[in-house]
Structure 1
Amino acid sequence: MNLIQRLFPIFQWLPAYKKADLNGDLFAGLTVGVMLIPQGMAYALIAGLPPVYGLYASIVPQIIYALLGTSRQLSVAPVAMDSLLVAAGVSVLATEGSDSYIAFAILIAFFMGAFQLLLGVFRLGFITNLLSKPVISGFTSAAALIIGFNQLKYLLGTDIAKSNRFYEVVINSARQIDETHVITLIIGIAAIVLIKSLKSLNKNIPGALIAVIVGTVIVYSLRLDDVGVSIVQNIPQGLPSMQLPDFSLGQFGKVLPLAFTISVVAFMEAFSVAKAVEAKRRDHKVIPNQELIGLGAANLIGSLFQSYPVTGGFSRTAVNHQAGANTPLASIVSAVIVALTVIFLTSLFYFLPHAILAAIIMVAVSNLFDLTYAKKLWRESKKEFLVLLFTFLVTLNIGMVIGIVTGIILSILLFLYRAAYPHIARLGRIKGHHEFRNVTRFNNLETWEGLVIIRIDAPLSFINIQEIKDYIQRLLNMEPKTREIIIDAGPVSHLDATAADGLHTLLEELNQKGVRLVFCDVIGPVRDAMKQTGLTKTIGKENLFLSLSEAVENALTNAKDPYKKVTLQTNVKA
């Protein structure tokens, strides 16, 4: 693969394009394009933007990603979660619906693309690993509730103030419940039932578009707008013009952190769904850093054509895959469908009720609320469940950006906690064999009074060396007759300078007590670190062994007073 092919993956799949792939790409492109028309307008509504900006964001970004992205089926356009993040951030900078509000949303897309491009160019895609699955699940579940409840304004036909805090939305909705516009509510509920019914019949049926058509025809035929049903009204016709974002808006202290947060969240969302499809197709490889470049270019160049932040969507990509998309040509076809709609068909959406768009959003985000994963974590890992729960609650009641940052911090703290308190196993020899196992998990193991064998299942670093020293000290206090400690260092993958200093101190303390410290099965990088820090000399080459069996045999053979063998009978743990 040459440089051009790496930078522009289109030159990998286009020269090898097969005629047999065309039907699948055309059908998938048409299906997703039809799906994107109502979906794009609905997601623009979440972001607080006029519906046409959802269509603008579904044209250029798709084409750019098709040129630069490595996934063959990922559909890049507006998504619900990023739209809500835009609304949450921009609402404190400008009044919803104003020109400056729209300009800020486009400016965020520009900086979001710039951040993703930089992360990809400098191969920093690993930074997204800070978003663990519990954090993502807690965040998306909270976002689903916030997005869904914010649509009550359109579903009930009342003037409910939007908020990115769940409790405020609930309170605002309760205060306006007596002003519900019954006809609007009926339209919205009927649309939800219609979309879900069609989806249950066949996932390939464009339920959202059918709901849009039916709802628009009914409102137009009965002139329900005259009795208070809120409609979209005029949607500008024609393709978006090319223009630079408005950098004179300033507020970069708020815009840049928001753009960076959305860039990371958006990449995680796109990359996870792209990898899921890759695992099913197995005819291409999704490359993380190139994905960042593809998504970054899609957002940056898209912002020049009045696009707000976009990323790969779960539902659209699934439909694209199921409809038979074989290459990114399907996304180009989708973009053409949306472009033709913007040029010729926007007038048809004049009587489209906002309640239909709200219904589309509610059905779409209902799949983001993942109670099954929360139950799974509760059974398997209480600590990670608490990370999910805390992220969920903070996102739900304080703010989305604060919620995801809180989740990241908690994940890091949990990781540091586990690193600070590593698993240390007390080992014994299986009777009649040369294998050693954890004495708390296996029975019929041989141990020796005065000889302690332990295995440290973690790198030795500044964060855990004190805990390891304390463990050995507690062991000596419990077993004062200990004369020799053997450390199985096979699982130790790293040794830093602080840990080396700690081992120097430990060796001095043990020498004073007449206790020999032996290491075995030390891997190359750790041996190098021992040599560089002078630890090899302090330990002594006579106390370094290639295998645990060799170390134990040496201890048993050379002991001045023979170690008394003890056979342990313990209950086996799962």
Structure 2
Amino acid sequence: MGTREAESVPADSAFKLDDLEAEYDLYKANEQLEDNEVTVNGSEDDYGNKKGIDLVKETEVRYYGSPGPEAIGGNIPGFEESTVSVKDYYNQFIREKLTLNSAGSYVYSLFPIVKWFPHYNLTWGYADLVAGITVGCVLVPQSMSYAQIASLPPQYGLYSSFIGAFIYSLFATSKDVCIGPVAVMSLQTAKVIAQVSAKYPENDPIVTAPVIATALSLLCGIVAIGVGLLRLGFLVELISLNAVAGFMTGSAFNILWGQVPALMGYSSKVNTRASTYKVVIDSLKHLPDTKLDAVFGLVPLCLLYLWKWWCGTYGPKLADRQLAHSPKKQRILKRFYFYSNAMRNAVIIIVFTAISWRITKNKDKEHRPIKVLGTVPSGLEDVGVAKIPEGLLAKMAPDIPASIIVLLLEHIAISKSFGRINDYKVVPDQELIAIGATNLIGTFFNAYPATGSFSRSALKAKCEVRTPFSGVFTGCCVLVAIYCLTDAFFFIPSATLSAVIIHAVSDLLASYKTTWNFWKMNPLDCCAFIVTVLITVFSSIENGIYFAMCWSCAMLLLKHAFPAGQFLGRVEVAEVINPTVVEDVEAISINDQIEGSVGKSKSLKADKGAISASSGSNYKFHSKWVAEQYAYNRELNPDVKILPPPPGVVVYRMSDSFTYINCSRHYDTIFDHIKKHTRRGQLLHLRKKSDRPWNDPGEWEISPSIKKFFKLGKKNQNDIESQDEDVAIDNTRDERPLLKIICLDFSQVVQVDSTAIQSLVDLRKAVHKYADRQVEFHFTGIISSWVKRSLLSMGFGTVNASYSDESIIAGHSSYHIAKTTKPLADDFTTDSSGSSQLQQSQEIYAATGTNMPFFHLDIPDFSKWDL
């Protein structure tokens, strides 16, 4: 074989890939080589083999990939990898946050209006004006209706509406959300008022329903603003979507049936604060007591649904079909339908209030044919500093958690949803500050808890609102109503308000499609949704909320405690660019040998194949590690047969963070697999039975002495030889391999703890004892520097007392190398067209630390190791 003198390489240089290619060409040209392994860029030694060049740190490696054979022993520059420290963490994540600039940025972030208000313009102002007035017309009747749900006088719904709209615009990061009274929070407020009032004497003049509601707003505001200032908004994410949908649906069902008695005119005969199923039963029992109020309830309800269907669905479709030739008229008609649909509540209230005024004017309360809303104070008469009686907050404590969860969860879910739909970022922590400030300041106006409304937010978004400043226009509409329309509010039929509530709340009921989608996405989520609805209906909204929270936390815990780790096998895969997919065939036959190096042509004959390719295609197959249960996991075509790891090698992929919750289960899974697929270092069948461990005694056999006593069998030579129990021998031979390597894929492990690392140490001791030798532990895909630090602290990853130089079983260390391209300064070449191009050189570096031979970027191809 021809030789080439070693080149002088500077100590700080990388290994040139060009040299590697030249050495490979030399290797391919020499037909007398018997081995596929060759060291690169060096001179020959006394045995005719090539010697590697001297670098700063010479390390024997295997180089996988093209160019070159599949495995080439060579030299790479040494790379001493250091571990992360607490100082590094401080410099990376904490140091910048303790400066004056970060403090200023924090204060600046508390008032998002400062960022966008200086850019406010007439275009934004017009869009906000239209959206604000439209939502304001909807908010006025809704707020009075929701105040009824909260068992409060209607003016308190108006107070919550205008102050919420004003304050939220100063702190909001969502332009679409409309703050004010909502159905679910109003129902929870009514529950709190009923439970707290029961702890005081009946008709106590000091502790009234408005006082309790305002105190609840104070507590909710303090908690919300505190969570937001501490940036703990991520806690809201602990409750899953299906759990939220469950208690929202159950609450909507509760509210809907709670309004049926008022809709039919016999509200005084049904306790609407009882469990929902009892309200349903009582409402059906009292149907014979229906009064004239049903006309002012059922007729508006039917008109609202018909109006919504015509203006929201059928009308726009009809406009598209009939005015397809006139886009301008089509657009105008669809906008008319949109705003008509938005005004349906207000129009229905006005029409039936006029009818009510005509039939109830000049009549006292006893002689009125229908029940009306009654006196609504004009202006802000009840506004002032809240006076909280002593001991009231303590008596409200048991009801606070459920109230805060409803307040925060509903708002965050709505704001994030509209942020994703309309392409802007919502900051949950800032939203909590906004809602906290709204409820805190609302206590000065005797408001009850307010949060984001889904229906009004959707209307606002459809009106193409541009900024949160639209809330100011909405608040002004409510103020105008408080000062100018209170005399008209007196004659609003209570049944009509109930119809408005039922119509609005029905949108919160999850459809059958939602339930079916939960089942298709995750059956357990569907079960949680249904159970949450049932608990809310048959017990209470609080219990439904607590169950939803417990279910979410339990699912999170179970997924960690019962990890879906997988043992891996390998398959050769290659990427095919622009193939022709043939649907009526199943497999592909390869007639010609496929070379793995770049530039070698391949021809494929697809007489039975799903893929056909041109004869000039280049395929580079490489080993891909997949789960052994790939047919169940759908990770790979079930027709593809995967190869198990080489004998004595176990490859296991962690499925989640490796912590105290799941480390014991991982330990048992791995060790049970080892005992099943590998044999002990000291064969038990060659040992005395009395020396075998109690938990692995082997197959049970009847003692020879017992056989003799009961004459269970004839005495033969074999029985005579086996009379002594201590020398019972199993003459069968264990063909299973010895355990050599355990490779753990940490590509999905983002964190570990001390308990988990100690379980790995225990596993290492157990397998050393089981194999009667030192077993290599390899780790791949570590994505957290603190995980690597934890492993190193217990002796994993490096050559040490647990892995001495003499005990390395594989016979070779394995490293990954990385290729980089660098331009050569002032070195240009001229191509056939005459244009100059800058020359580039390719160099290879050690991809990971050469001082950590048991840490890898990817799972090594153990089939190429000398095992």
TM-score by length of 2: 0.61
Q: Give the counterpart letter for 1:196 in structure 2.
A: Y
Q: Residues 504 and 538 of structure 1 are in contact (CA less than 8 Å); yes or no, is this contact kept in structure 2?
A: no
Aligned to 1:211: 348
Q: Which region of structure 1 is more displaced relative to structure 2, 46-55 or 470-479?
A: 470-479
Mapped pair 1:446 → 2:446: no
Instruction: Call closer, same or farther: CA 1:539–1:379 in 2, change over 3 Å.
Output: farther
Mapped pair 1:153 → 2:153: no
Instruction: Call closer, same or farther: CA 1:176–1:528 in 2, change over 3 Å.
Output: same
Mapped pair 1:513 → 2:774: no
Mapped pair 1:433 → 2:568: no
Q: Which region of structure 1 is more displaced relative to structure 2, 373-382 or 542-551?
A: 542-551
Q: Residues 518 and 526 of structure 2 are in contact (CA less than 8 Å); yes or no, is this contact kept in structure 1?
A: yes
Q: Aligned partners of 1:254, 1:290: CA distance in 2, in Å?
A: 30
Q: Aligned partners of 1:526, 1:540: CA distance in 2, in Å?
A: 20
Which digits, 9 at most, give the CA deviation of each residue in 1:286-326, with x for residues without a partner?
Answer: 21111111110001101110110001111111111212321
Aligned to 1:286: 426
Q: Tell me, which stretches of 5 or more residues in structure 1 are unaligned? A: 560-574
Q: Aligned partners of 2:113, 2:381: CA distance in 1, in Å?
A: 25
In the TM superposition, what is the alpha-carbon distance from 1:439 to its structure 2 partner? 2.5
Which digits, 9 at most, give the CA deviation of each residue in 1:108-137, with x for residues without a partner?
Answer: 011101110000111110111122101101
Specify the SS of the correspondent of 1:426.
Answer: strand
1:269 to 410, 428, 432: 410
Q: How does 1:82-481 map to 2 (within 5 A)?
A: 82-94=185-197, 100-158=208-266, 159=268, 160-181=270-291, 183-200=292-309, 201=311, 202-205=337-340, 206-223=343-360, 226=367, 228-282=369-423, 284-371=424-511, 372-431=513-572, 432-441=621-630, 442=636, 443-447=640-644, 448-480=646-678, 481=736
Q: Aligned partners of 2:743, 2:796: CA distance in 1, in Å?
A: 16
Aligned to 1:529: 790
Specify the SS of the correspondent of 2:623.
Answer: coil
In the TM superposition, what is the alpha-carbon distance from 1:241 to its structure 2 partner? 4.7
Q: Residues 104 and 249 of structure 1 are in contact (CA less than 8 Å); yes or no, is this contact kept in structure 2?
A: no
Q: Aligned partners of 1:97, 1:307: CA distance in 2, in Å?
A: 21
In the TM superposition, what is the alpha-carbon distance from 1:227 to its structure 2 partner? 5.1
Which digits, 9 at most, give the CA deviation of each residue in 1:452-491, with x for residues without a partner?
Answer: 2221111111111111111123313432435133222222
In the TM superposition, what is the alpha-carbon distance from 1:446 to its structure 2 partner? 1.8
Q: Give the counterpart letter for 2:196 in structure 1.
A: L
Q: Give the counterpart letter for 1:211 in structure 2.
A: I
Instruction: Call closer, same or farther: CA 1:147–1:419 in 2, change over 3 Å.
Output: same
Mapped pair 1:17 → 2:127: no
In the TM superposition, what is the alpha-carbon distance from 1:517 to its structure 2 partner? 4.7
Aligned to 1:546: 856
Q: Which region of structure 1 is more displaced relative to structure 2, 234-243 or 66-75?
A: 234-243
Q: Aligned partners of 2:643, 2:629: CA distance in 1, in Å?
A: 13
Q: Residues 230 and 354 of structure 1 are in contact (CA less than 8 Å); yes or no, is this contact kept in structure 2?
A: yes
Q: Aligned partners of 1:173, 1:23: CA distance in 2, in Å?
A: 47
Q: Residues 761 and 794 of structure 2 are in contact (CA less than 8 Å); yes or no, is this contact kept in structure 1?
A: no
In the TM superposition, what is the alpha-carbon distance from 1:539 to its structure 2 partner? 5.8
Q: Aligned partners of 1:427, 1:403: CA distance in 2, in Å?
A: 42
Q: Give the counterpart letter for 1:236 in structure 2.
A: P
Q: Which region of structure 1 is more displaced relative to structure 2, 204-213 or 78-87?
A: 204-213
Q: Give the counterpart letter for 1:274 in structure 2.
A: S
In the TM superposition, what is the alpha-carbon distance from 1:267 to its structure 2 partner? 2.3
Q: Residues 671 and 763 of structure 2 are in contact (CA less than 8 Å); yes or no, is this contact kept in structure 1?
A: no
Q: Residues 424 and 456 of structure 1 are in contact (CA less than 8 Å); yes or no, is this contact kept in structure 2?
A: yes
Q: Give the counterpart letter for 2:166 in structure 1.
A: I
Q: Residues 93 and 101 of structure 1 are in contact (CA less than 8 Å); yes or no, is this contact kept in structure 2?
A: no
Q: Residues 239 and 553 of structure 2 are in contact (CA less than 8 Å); yes or no, is this contact kept in structure 1?
A: no
Q: Give the counterpart letter for 2:445 in structure 1.
A: F
Aligned to 1:46: 149
Q: Which region of structure 1 is more displaced relative to structure 2, 218-227 or 291-300?
A: 218-227
Q: Aligned partners of 1:474, 1:47: CA distance in 2, in Å?
A: 60
Task: Work out the percentage of aligned pairs sharing the same amino acid.
Answer: 27
In the TM superposition, what is the alpha-carbon distance from 1:395 to its structure 2 partner? 1.7
Q: Tell me how many residue pairs correspond in the alignment.
A: 555
Q: Aligned partners of 1:277, 1:97: CA distance in 2, in Å?
A: 44
Q: Aligned partners of 2:249, 2:203: CA distance in 1, in Å?
A: 27
Q: Aligned partners of 1:425, 1:227: CA distance in 2, in Å?
A: 74
Aligned to 1:563: none
Q: Residues 652 and 744 of structure 2 are in contact (CA less than 8 Å); yes or no, is this contact kept in structure 1?
A: yes
Q: Residues 144 and 368 of structure 1 are in contact (CA less than 8 Å); yes or no, is this contact kept in structure 2?
A: yes
In the TM superposition, what is the alpha-carbon distance from 1:355 to its structure 2 partner? 0.6
In the TM superposition, what is the alpha-carbon distance from 1:51 to its structure 2 partner? 1.1
Q: Residues 650 and 674 of structure 2 are in contact (CA less than 8 Å); yes or no, is this contact kept in structure 1?
A: no
Aligned to 1:567: none
Task: Look at both structures and tell me which one has the larger radius of gyration over its CA atoms.
Answer: 2
Specify the SS of the correspondent of 1:518.
Answer: strand
Q: Aligned partners of 2:753, 2:416: CA distance in 1, in Å?
A: 35
Q: Tell me, which stretches of 5 or more residues in structure 2 are unaligned? A: 1-103, 312-336, 573-620, 631-635, 679-735, 809-852
Instruction: Call closer, same or farther: CA 1:388–1:253 in 2, change over 3 Å.
Output: farther
Which digits, 9 at most, give the CA deviation of each residue in 1:40-80, with x for residues without a partner?
Answer: 00010111111111111111121111111111221111000
Larger relative contact order (Cα-Cα within 8 Å, sequence gap ≥ 6): 1
Q: Aligned partners of 1:402, 1:534: CA distance in 2, in Å?
A: 50
Which digits, 9 at most, give the CA deviation of each residue in 1:259-292, with x for residues without a partner?
Answer: 343233222222222223323433x432111111
Q: Which region of structure 1 is more displaced relative to structure 2, 258-267 or 108-117?
A: 258-267
Instruction: Call closer, same or farther: CA 1:246–1:172 in 2, change over 3 Å.
Output: farther
Instruction: Call closer, same or farther: CA 1:3–1:510 in 2, change over 3 Å.
Output: closer
